[in-house]
Amino acid sequence: MAVESRERPDRGQTPGQTPNETVDVRLDHVTKSFDDVVAVDDVSLEIPHGSFFALLGPSGCGKTTTLRMIGGFEEPTDGAIYLGEEPVTGRPPYKRDVNTVFQSYALFPHLSILENIAFGLRRRGVRGKEVRGRVLDILRLVGLEGLERRKPRQLSGGQQQRVALARALVNKPRVLLLDEPLGALDLKLRKQMQLELKAIQHDVGITFIHVTHDQEEAMTMADRIAVMNQGHVEQLGPPDELYERPASAFVAGFLGVSNLLSGVVEDPDGVRLADGTLVQAQVDGKRGPVAAGVRPEKITLGESGGQNRLPGTIAETAYIGVATQFVVDTPAGTVHVFAQNIDSGKRIPVPGSNVTLSWSPESTFVVERGEEMSE
């Protein structure tokens, strides 16, 4: 491995150590308005040192604005931002120990790859042989040995992306900000870079804040995700927690497919659905009109899946190799089911057949009924 361990002893962390000990970035009730739009609305976040943190949300939800405030390109209208213990509000970007990988890459077209990557080092007074050495090391890390003399326009999109990453990483910042860094790459390269980026992050141990609107990308790469919607954070947690226990209808719908069945909380651990069926679930003190949710792969065709049951009629089936997708009409609404094709001899129910769906109370979550939901 080419990159040596972090130089700053004050942070007391080396790569590979578990995160959570120190906080690298803290947003304290940060709001940003542009004229009449509130782009970021009272966001509070703590990003632990060494974590791979994703800001996930649909277009226009304020991800870029949040990132730009951490980088120093925008100032919050309200609230404060801390890097480590220090408040950095009002401090220009060049005085923040943070580097950015821009979506457009923003490589300097008049400079060679070597000079592009050396830019930050030179500004911070690194001189002579050390510059070249560190640039070549980082080029090896991102897999671009031998290209240091080219100009950016002589590289492919994927290579430029790596240069942008190298140019930021070589400075060993406290935090690396990435704004949809893979957005311009084709699907295959994007998948490959997702894994590579994660490996690089693990190697260098720097905190990454990764902005994306692609839930799969966020789930693949991040160890913590903040789901943003209309300027505020809907839910923050590790990917599995967001997936298994979404806190809102928005999160349930944004991360993967989910079935949301409208109902009313009836007793401390049950929701009465529209058709009168009682579904057992952890209600966590919610009241009144809610939705009971369950992921399609948690539902079994038949009665072996658990205590929660719904009768239904199969409307559509789609065989996709590893699994079969069913759309089932039930009195409580349309339900999607993914059944893994484990037994090859098994007969797949055809459209029109009557089935019973079953799932366990543990895989049932309850959310407030969102505006996105019909009914």
Ligand X SMILES: Nc1ncnc2c1ncn2[C@@H]1O[C@H](COP(=O)(O)OP(=O)(O)OP(=O)(O)O)[C@@H](O)[C@H]1O
Residue 94: which of Mg ion, ligand X, other proteins, none does it interact with, CB under 5 to 8 A by kind?
other proteins
Q: How far does CA 147 lie from the centroid of its chain?
A: 32
φ and ψ at residue 163, rounded to 5 degrees: -65, -45
- Quick one: which of 235, 190, 196 has its CA closest to 216? 190
Distance between CA atoms of 230 and 43, rounded to whole angstroms? Answer: 11
Give CA–CA dist 292/359, Å, rounded. 12
297 by DSSP, 3-state: which? helix
Q: Which stretch binds other proteins (CB under 8 A): 115-123, 204-212, 273-281, 354-362?
A: 115-123
Q: Which DSSP category does 217 fall into? A: H
Site string for ligand X, 185-224 (x = CB under 6 A): ----------------------------x-----------
Q: Residue 83: which of 234, 227, 206 has the closest Cα?
A: 206
Judged by CB under 6 A, the residue of 30, 39, 169, 226 near ligand X is: 39
Q: Judged by CB under 8 A, which stretch of 107-115, 240-248, 288-296, 297-305 contacts other proteins?
A: 107-115
Residue 239 near which of Mg ion, other proteins, ligand X, none (CB within 5-8 Å, type-dependent): none
**Furthest C-alpha separation in the chain:** 77
Task: Single out the residue of 6, 49, 63, 172 in contact with ligand X (rule: CB under 6 A).
Answer: 63
Q: Among residue numbers 217 through 236, which ones bind other proteins (CB under 8 A)?
A: none
82 binds, among other proteins, Mg ion, ligand X, none (CB under 5 to 8 A by kind): none
CA 240-241-244 angle, to 5 degrees, is 80
Binding flag, residue 252, ligand X (CB under 6 A): no
Are the C-beta atoms of 251 and 242 separated by less than 8 Å? yes
- Select from 65, 248, 258, 300 the one that contacts ligand X (CB under 6 A): 65
Q: How far apart are CA 231 and CA 240, in angstroms?
A: 23
Kindly state the helix (H) or strand (E) to which residue 43 belongs, with its residue range: strand 37-48
Stretch that binds ligand X, among 32-40, 162-170, 249-257, 347-355 (CB under 6 A): 32-40
171 binds other proteins (CB under 8 A): yes
Nearest to 251 by CA among 219, 233, 227: 227
- Out of 32, 49, 162, 167, point to the residue binding other proteins (CB under 8 A): 167
Closest approach of ligand X to the CB of residue 208, in Å: 17
Q: Least separation, in Å, of the C-beta of 96 and ligand X?
A: 19
- Applying CB under 6 A, among 12, 16, 60, 331 the residue interacting with ligand X is 60
Print the binding letters for residues 50-89 with Mg ion: x by CB under 5 A, - otherwise: --------------x-------------------------
Please report where in the chains the tokens 């209808």 appear, as a residue.
249
Q: Which does residue 248 touch among Mg ion, other proteins, ligand X, none (CB within 5 to 8 A, set by kind)?
A: none
* 100 binds other proteins per the rule CB under 8 A: yes
Tokens of 143: 């897999």
Which 241-280 residues touch other proteins, going by CB under 8 A? none
CB 180 within 8 A of CB 103: yes
Q: Which of 120, 263, 296, 305 binds other proteins (CB under 8 A)?
A: 120
- 3-class state of residue 188 by DSSP: helix
Q: What does DSSP say about strands 289-294 and 278-280: parallel, antiparallel, or unpaired? A: unpaired
Q: Helices H, strands E: what count in the chain?
A: 8, 20
Applying CB under 8 A, the residues found at the interface with other proteins are: 71-73, 92-94, 98-100, 102, 104, 106-108, 110, 119-120, 123-124, 167-168, 171
Applying CB under 6 A, which residues contact ligand X? Answer: 34, 37, 39, 57, 59-65, 213
